[in-house]
A = this chain, B = another copy of it.
Amino acid sequence: MSLTSREAGRRPRIPDVTIKRLPVYLRALDEAGERGVEIVSSAELARQTGFTSEQIRKDLAYFGAFGTRGVGYDVGTLADRIRRILGLHRVVPAALVGAGHLGTALARYNLTRPHPVRIEAIFDVAPDKVGTSIEGVTVEPVERLEETVRAKGCRLAILAVPAPAAQEAAQRLVAAGVEAILNFAPAQLQVPAHVQVQHIDLGLELESLAYYTAGERLSV
């Protein structure tokens, strides 16, 4: 599971692990900015994020030289750069498929902390869900998926449907132009190579964590 790095290389081929750390740096920078800090060193960012300062400098170096030697990084400038790299300088419309407990929680979570990724379309099969509104977004029947996803320009989607429904939903999302999927369904998705899938499977997470609680473990 986890990010499947595609062969189809982006520019200089940036590791997926680097991409996953950028939002952490961004959050740290925003927090520093809110505290009125204007310049940070990689050492300071390291303290805030838990990564090493070398790693932070290496990650940033993939995209250019943003700092000033002997000084550090300008908080606002670096935050802007990272935001642009991630495409978060503008609103990112996202679609949510599945308005069950988890889907609803995700939609609400999204609202809680202001976020450039906005859930602007929600779909469900259940007739009693369709037409209701979650945080201001009306739940539509899945029949309208392609049309609405295309119309709203969603290229990112969250999949929170039961496992048996996951593959079909993924296919339809991809057909409608989605390029990245956050999948909560306990199912392996078959998608074209250009589509990035991040799989979060609560069952798998709990099962692997159980290993670390098993204590004195003698030879199997």
Chain A positions within 8 Å of B, measured between CB atoms, are 1-2, 10-11, 19-24, 26-27, 49-50, 63-64, 81, 84-88, 92, 94, 100-102, 104-106, 108-110, 113, 115-117, 155-156, 158, 179-182, 186, 188, 196, 198, 200, 202-215, 217, 219-220
Cβ contacts under 8 Å, A27 to chain B = 186, 203-204
Contact A156/B63 with A21-B1, A50-B188, A206-B117 known, Cβ cut-off 8 Å: no
A106 vs B181: C-alpha distance when bound (angstroms): 20
Closest to A64 in B: B220
**In contact, A180 and B209 (Cβ under 8 angstroms):** yes
**In contact, B210 and A87 (Cβ under 8 angstroms):** yes
- Number of this chain's copies in the assembly equals 2
**In contact, B117 and A210 (Cβ under 8 angstroms):** yes
Cβ contacts under 8 Å, A102 to chain B = 105, 109
**In contact, B101 and A108 (Cβ under 8 angstroms):** yes
Cβ contacts under 8 Å, A106 to chain B = 202
Contact A214/B182 with A109-B202, A198-B205, A203-B23 known, Cβ cut-off 8 Å: no
**In contact, B64 and A188 (Cβ under 8 angstroms):** no
A19: which of B20, B188, B211 is its contact (CB, 8 Å)?
Answer: B211
Cβ contacts under 8 Å, A117 to chain B = 203, 206-207, 210
What are 5 A-B pairs at a CB distance below 8 A?
A49-B188, A85-B217, A109-B202, A180-B212, A182-B202
**In contact, A209 and B186 (Cβ under 8 angstroms):** no
Cβ contacts under 8 Å, A204 to chain B = 20, 23-24, 27
